[in-house]
Amino acid sequence: MPASIGVNLRVTGHCSQGGRKYMEDLFSVAYQQTEDERDLEYAFFGIYDGHGGSEAAAFAKEHLMDSIVKQRQFWSDNDEDVLKAIRNGYMLTHLNMWKELEKWPKTVTGLPSTAGTTASIAFIRRGKIYIGHVGDSAIVLGYQKDGCEEWAAKPLTSDHKPESTTEIERIQRCGGKVVSKAGVPRVVWNRPRLGHKGPIKKNTLMDEIPFLAVARSLGDLWSYNPQNDEFIVSPDPDVGVLTIDPSKFRCLIFGTDGLWNMISPEGAVSLVQATERHNEAALVGGNGNQPRDWLNPSKSLVDHALERWSNTRMRADNTSVVTLMLDPPGPPRATVLRSRIRGRGVARPPSTLNNSTKDVKLNVVTCAEIVDWDELAGATQH
């Protein structure tokens, strides 16, 4: 990828329905070229884990990026402006779902759709990573410490769960409740009592249903509280920016909770590094072309998670992963390795393998809670 975004990218993706009846995970990958088509303005990546149907996830996949980049602030050189554009884009996408609600399938009791989705996204632009996040999907950075061969893991997002003290306080301020069901804290849905017809009024009888195990999302319009004009399940994202250090940063892993419920961030990064070592050894030991036994790191992660789901004897969740290999600017990684094979070693920090983005395999904050990014590079959090 052109160095205008500050890093070379190799991208893979993979997803599995697992043992669930429906597939509600989606992910997106997009690039925007400069006007002269010689460089990239940005690269965009997003992962969405739908619930209550796939409609909200599909809507977010189709509209969230555009809702952000169409705002003037996104194109600013000021990080604060870009983060504001991301936050506004989330809110706009969420509110626009009202217009689609009547088109979405109703619940089995005839009520409006309860579809919602997590949304964890990143823009890579001008040497920085801009993050937006709601829900319990996650983005993890793999990086290399000085003097260490093994990569370390750094979560760049924090799960929005109803058991979080911060989220409980916010939910209560919005007039909501959190109640445990089968040991799992859930946001309560004040649902009109079965048999109710017509508009909901102050005297309408309601049932309190422990409903959703996520505290923030896009969609979940059932959680709107007209008394204070707020959503109990909030669409307000965590946002943050991280300056890329090409000498240390090795990969970004986007995953739905089907992955993270089975594999730790450290385990995921370690598996990606092992896959990278396998691919590099296969290339260096061969004829310099892409090896026939090349491994897709995203598929390796999904397969490993599914194996663990099987070992727990639980029904596997939808599991989706997008993996970005982050290479220093310059020649593609495969070119560097082929040069080494031919004895013309090109000076470059040790990193990774494979050709370029054509290797894509696609099957188709409160930031106070986020660990300190400043340890790695300059960062701004909100």
pLDDT score of 6: 87
Token readout for 205 is 């009888």
Q: What are the domain boundaries of the chain?
A: 3-160+214-381
Write 64-69 long-range contacts (CB < 8 A, 24+): 64/89, 64/90, 64/93, 64/119, 64/121, 64/218, 65/28, 65/30, 65/89, 65/121, 67/92, 67/93, 67/96, 68/123, 68/132, 69/32, 69/42
Tell me what pLDDT residue 109 has. Answer: 87
Q: Which of 200-209, 283-292, 328-337, 368-377 has the highest mean pLDDT?
A: 200-209
| Domain spanning 3-160+214-381: CATH superfamily | PPM-type phosphatase domain (3.60.40.10)
Among candidates 93, 182, 82, 92, which has minimal Cα distance to 122?
Answer: 82
Helix orientation angle between 265-284 and 333-341, rounded to the nearest 10 degrees: 40
pLDDT (mean) for 27-44: 91
pTM of the predicted structure, to 2 decimals: 0.86
pLDDT at 187 over 90: yes
47-72: pLDDT as tens digits: 999 999 999 999 999 999 999 999 99
Q: Which tokens go with 256?
A: 């739905």
**Whether the Cβ atoms of residue 320 and residue 276 lie closer than 8 Å to each other:** no
Integer Cα distance of 300 and 321 in angstroms: 10
CA–CA distance, 154 with 377 (Å, rounded to integer): 12
Closest of 296, 297, 280, 298 to residue 288, by C-alpha:
280
Unique residue bearing structure tokens 């924090």: 158
**How many whole angstroms separate alpha carbon 117 and alpha carbon 49?**
5
* Residue ranges of E strands in 256-318: none
Residues in a beta bridge with 230: 225
Tokens of 155: 């979560």
Q: Which of the four pLDDT bands, split at 50, 70 and 90, describes residue 39?
A: confident
Spatial separation of the C-alpha atoms in residues 244 and 110, rounded to whole Å? 49
Which regions of the chain does DSSP assign to beta strands (E)? Answer: 8-16, 25-33, 40-51, 116-117, 119-125, 128-134, 138-144, 151-155, 178-181, 184-192, 206-212, 218-219, 224-225, 230-231, 238-243, 249-255, 319-327, 379-381
Residue positions counted in the chain:
382
Q: Average pLDDT, stretch 196-206?
A: 71
Sort 98 into a burial class: Cβ within 10 Å, 0-12 / 13-18 / 19+: exposed
pLDDT, tens only, 231-285: 999 999 999 999 999 999 999 999 999 999 999 999 999 999 999 999 988 877 6
d(CA 257, CA 365): 18
Residues 6+ apart with CB under 8 A from 307: none
Whether the predicted pLDDT of 336 surpasses 80: no
Q: N- to C-terminal Cα distance for the chain?
A: 29
How confident is the prediction for the chain on average, in pLDDT?
86
**C-alpha 246: how far from chain center:** 21
